[in-house]
Amino acid sequence: MENRTIDNIRNVAIIAHVDHGKTTLVDALLNQGQVFRTNQQVGELIMDTDPLERERGITILAKNTAVTYEGVKINIIDTPGHADFSGEVERIMNMADGCLLLVDAVDGPMPQTRYVLRQALQQNVAPVVVINKIDRPEARVPEVIEMVQDLFLELAVTSEQLDFPVLLASAKLGYAVADLESPRQDMRPLFDTILQAVPAPSGDPDAPFQMLVAALDYDNHLGQIAIGRVSRGSARTKDQVVLAGKGGQTHSLDRVFVFLGLERLEVKEAPTGDIVAISGVENVSIGDTVAAADQPEALPTINIDEPTVKMTFGVNTSPFMGREGAHCTSRVLHARLLRELRTNVSLRVETTSSPDRFLVSGRGELQLAILVETLRREEFEFQVSKPEPVTKYIDGRLNEPYEHLLINTVEEYVGQLTEDLSGRLAELTDMVYDGAGNVRLEYSIPTRGLIGFGSFFLRTTRGNGTRDSVFTEYRPMEGEVKESGAGVLVASENGIAVTNGLLNAQGRGETFIEPGTPVYVGMIVGMHRRDEDIAINVCKEKKLTNMRSSTADIAKRLSPKVKMSLDEALDFISTDELLEATPQNFRLRKKELSATIRLREKNRTQPVREREPSA
């Protein structure tokens, strides 16, 4: 038995920072590979098939596709660019022999660019750099290439990794070139570079079957589907396989699929080096090795970085429990969270002292918010707490995660942002002005300081800016994050909100609800202008009298309600509050609904003032 090179296959992952054009590049490669009919309408961002991906404009899950070029099958893996979903990059990197590192011709390398490149180089994946969006008028190609070279000098593991090809492209317009003077026609130069620079997979095609599971899918007819690259041998239907290291139960491969375009093609046999999807193996997890029953040798498992943010998921305990959701019990919620772990490898789920609450940890606020939204759409009804950082003890000291924060905005907002970030324990590490009114700020900030910053950033910059962050290291916990100082308006009666009650509430602050909204005691209905919570009756009707006046018929108009997104609501709540999520609504509420008990707890935790001696 000996390893042989499989020359007719290439496996490539596309990695980049968020919004640098990965999914658009996949569109261009698929169109160039002629995987669609001439009259077929496929649209844009073809690989973003999940409704949440379409709504938010980001890639959440890594996906496989393939094209054929010059007789060579090129398997392409589209990956997420947001740091919160970096676990998707880590789990699929073992399937690739090369990667296309996309870098925006205007932005240059960003925090996630550094992270994904480090992952690729540590896996000894051959890089091909693609400077994308060169059609933009403000593109600065020579400067960005120099920045990429500096990044490779910093992260390269071997000297061979410093010798990488660089191509210039516009994925949107569908062309790639070797230099700015070359004619801009199609994506052939990129395909040619992939064939030359990305090594072909190798393995022993005559050895018994072996595959590391890197992704999972589910089909209503076939059951669980495992996806991975064939390390040795061939994947054949009806072959007997086992999960290496997980007992001796034998499974039969029911179906074997390979990828081409947007389809999975069923085949009788898939060769060494190809990326396949197999069915018939039960209770398989990401990181498991599926191997031939007569030689069940396990491959090294997938290493996933630890989560940095946590929040509790619990059964809805409000008076409205069970009105809007189909799944309301702790047993069903816990089973669904455990099922999520099978495909989302960067999550952690732990039980707590309460049987109705579970601690869920992830890579960031966005990843947990996506999980909340996913469960809502599956008819779950539950409540979640404010996100908190995952801390741990190192050498006897409590440590917390720190992140590298990068902000691009205009000069007029620098003062407000700097003032807020200083209260969040952020340290300014770099500031660059471009001379045209734009500024680039870099900070080192604890994760607990970043929680809640997203909403403030959007309000302050009015959309004129971007922010990105990525985990860097754990450091000893020091200092206190400055609280926002805003209180809330809490409903004091059960009932239906009316105009008169909301007018009274708007005299104290801004409201989150409209007339006709059902409320309950302890539900948060607005934001107070001062730093204290007050109870208010938004169900109070206007008293009717027999007296008439000249101004009685003047209509009073309510101010529009403050409408928050799910992400903003998670940013807004404090540690003594919860977000109640249902398929139809999400509501903010106090953990303790009774105002009397809340006041008693507050008095108990406040220090008692010493009485001054009488004269």
Task: State the chain's mean pLDDT as an integer.
Answer: 85
Report pLDDT for 284. Answer: 86
Task: Report the alpha-carbon distance of residue 8 to residue 462 in Å, rounded.
Answer: 51
| Cβ–Cβ under 8 Å, residues 418 and 434 | no
Query: CATH 3.40.50.11440: does it fit domain 392-476?
Result: no
Q: Using N-to-C axis directions, what is the helix angle for 188-197 and 22-32, rounded to 10°? A: 100
Task: Report the alpha-carbon distance of residue 489 to residue 527 in Å, rounded.
Answer: 6
Higher pLDDT: 525 or 111? It is: 525
Give the model's confidence band at 548: pLDDT under 50 very low, under 70 low, under 90 confident, else very high.
Answer: low
Written out in words, the top-level CATH class of the domain with range 4-202 is: alpha beta
- Residues 205-226 have a mean pLDDT of 87
Written out in words, the top-level CATH class of the domain with range 488-577+584-605 is: mainly beta
Query: CATH 2.60.40.1180: does it fit domain 204-292?
Result: no
- Per-residue model confidence as pLDDT tens digits over 88-131: 788 888 889 999 999 999 888 887 788 888 888 888 888 999 99
- Residues 355-373 have a mean pLDDT of 90
| Cβ–Cβ under 8 Å, residues 410 and 460 | no
Report pLDDT for 1. Answer: 56
Q: SS in 3 state form for 95-107? A: HCCEEEEEEECCC
| Start-end of CATH 3.40.50.300 domains in the chain | 4-202
Tokens linked to 540: 């109070």
- Residues 250-276 have a mean pLDDT of 89
- Per-residue model confidence as pLDDT tens digits over 463-477: 788 888 888 889 999
Residue 523 scores a pLDDT above 90: yes
| Cβ–Cβ under 8 Å, residues 158 and 89 | no
- Per-residue model confidence as pLDDT tens digits over 4-36: 888 899 999 988 887 777 788 888 888 776 655
| Start-end of CATH 2.40.30.10 domains in the chain | 204-292
Amino acid at 122: Q
Comparing CA positions, the residue from 512, 526, 520 lying closest to residue 496 is 520
Report pLDDT for 606. Answer: 62
Q: What does the angle CA 586 – CA 592 – CA 388 come to, to the nearest 5 degrees?
A: 65
Report pLDDT for 144. Answer: 92
Report pLDDT for 49. Answer: 60
Report pLDDT for 433. Answer: 86
Give the model's confidence band at 556: pLDDT under 50 very low, under 70 low, under 90 confident, else very high.
Answer: low
Report pLDDT for 230. Answer: 92
| Start-end of CATH 2.40.50.250 domains in the chain | 488-577+584-605
Order of strands, sheet of 210-219, starting from the edge strand that comes earlier in the sequence:
251-252, 240-243, 289-292, 210-219, 223-232, 275-279, 255-260, 263-267
Task: Report the alpha-carbon distance of residue 511 to residue 488 in Å, rounded.
Answer: 9
| Cβ–Cβ under 8 Å, residues 232 and 271 | no
Report pLDDT for 611. Answer: 38
| Cβ–Cβ under 8 Å, residues 527 and 486 | yes
Comparing CA positions, the residue from 26, 164, 184, 15 lying closest to residue 103 is 15
Cα distance between the two ends of the chain: 99
Residue 76 in 3-state DSSP? strand
| Start-end of CATH 3.30.70.240 domains in the chain | 392-476
Task: Report the alpha-carbon distance of residue 94 to residue 228 in Å, rounded.
Answer: 9
Tokens linked to 52: 């949440």
User: φ and ψ at 603, to 5 degrees?
Assistant: -65, -30
Give the model's confidence band at 607: pLDDT under 50 very low, under 70 low, under 90 confident, else very high.
Answer: low
Report pLDDT for 613. Answer: 44
- Residues 336-365 have a mean pLDDT of 89
Residue 553 scores a pLDDT above 50: no
Give the model's confidence band at 434: pLDDT under 50 very low, under 70 low, under 90 confident, else very high.
Answer: confident
Residue 65 scores a pLDDT above 60: yes
Residue 42 scores a pLDDT above 60: no
Give the model's confidence band at 138: pLDDT under 50 very low, under 70 low, under 90 confident, else very high.
Answer: confident
Q: How far is CA 590 from CA 106, 371, 557, 595, in A?
A: 45, 22, 28, 9
| Cβ–Cβ under 8 Å, residues 398 and 477 | yes
Task: Report the alpha-carbon distance of residue 299 to residue 379 in Å, rounded.
Answer: 39
Higher pLDDT: 490 or 605? It is: 490
| Cβ–Cβ under 8 Å, residues 524 and 512 | yes
For the chain, give the percent of residues with pLDDT over 90: 33
| Cβ–Cβ under 8 Å, residues 505 and 511 | yes
Report pLDDT for 246. Answer: 72
Give the global pTM: 0.82
- Residues 366-385 have a mean pLDDT of 92
Tokens linked to 481: 């994050």
- What residues contact 613, with CB distance under 8 A and at least 6 apart? none
Report pLDDT for 112. Answer: 78
**Rg of the chain (C-alpha set):** 28
